[in-house]
Amino acid sequence: MSNNQQIDKLKGHVLIFSDEFRNLILGFQMLAPVAEDQELLKKFSGTKQAHGLQIVRGSLIQECIIGITKLTYDSGSNNPTAGRLIESSLNLPPATLAQLKDAFSVPIKPALASNRPLTDADVLFWQEIEKMDIQELRLAFDQYLPELEKEWQWFRQHREAFKELRDKRFAHLDVRLVSQQYEISKVEGPDWDTVKEAVKRLINVAEILLTILHKKDEGFDQATEIARQIATDFWNGLAIRTAKNEHS
């Protein structure tokens, strides 16, 4: 595979990863209020909707764990996962990495305030600015790669917690023989703080990959805030309707 083909593959895969990750953010933010907001849960406690809420909550947890695991750990050269994208980026051949770095380091020239012809002084000025920008961009590129490695180290440390719960309980039923009886294997999955941390780190990974490969900001902070507001409006609205039904 040529340098351009390797880079084009990474560019295409990171866009797919980004789109799928946006869907995960929506599901995660829908789960968050009923995973940690005790005041909200109290509004449903003892109501006719309480059992239904527990079913929905369990489904959202399962979807979230499956989503994080699928977008982070699944192997295969054609799987656009965080793990594959990070490892592929960190292990590019030197010539390909240099080409990617050169492309990233091309500064965006500012538009001139007027359409007047450039003077010799203008040309010298913009040449100096461009040199400064190139140096800064090349330095930034070199800092992004260790940050990706750092994030991947965290995910490697938590691989088993996510994969075992997904593989042995959510995607499949793993059973074992205990005292002449078969039972579902007990799996210790990640706690809620780890799930939150995983989503936070995936946002950073997505932003870095999009920056170095496409020089673009996908605005995940904005996407997260929109998803959070959608979830808040939904659960608070449902709580209000539940309260009215209980007192009618």
Give the length of the chain. Answer: 248
**pLDDT: which is higher, 84 or 115:** 84
**pLDDT: which is higher, 205 or 117:** 205
Q: Place 207 in a pLDDT band, splitting at 50, 70 and 90.
A: very high
Return the number of other C-beta atoms located less than 10 Å from residue 237's C-beta: 10
Q: Place 119 in a pLDDT band, splitting at 50, 70 and 90.
A: confident
Q: Place 99 in a pLDDT band, splitting at 50, 70 and 90.
A: very high
Q: Is residue 143 pLDDT above 70, yes or no?
A: yes
Contact 158, 121 (CB under 8 A): no
User: Which amino acid is present at 187?
Assistant: V
Return the number of other C-beta atoms located less than 10 Å from residue 115's C-beta: 5
Q: Place 244 in a pLDDT band, splitting at 50, 70 and 90.
A: confident
Structure tokens at 29: 């933010």
Strands 175-178 and 181-184 turn out to be antiparallel
Residue carrying structure tokens 């932003």: 207
pTM, whole model, 2 decimals?
0.85
Whole-number pLDDT of residue 14: 96
- 3-state helix, strand, coil split of the chain in percent (to 5) is 75, 5, 20
Structure tokens at 160: 């088993």
Between helix 94-104 and helix 192-214 the angle, nearest 10°, is 80
Query: Picking from 58-62, 124-128, 239-243, which range would have the lowest pLDDT averaged per residue?
Result: 124-128
Whole-number pLDDT of residue 160: 94
Whole-number pLDDT of residue 114: 53
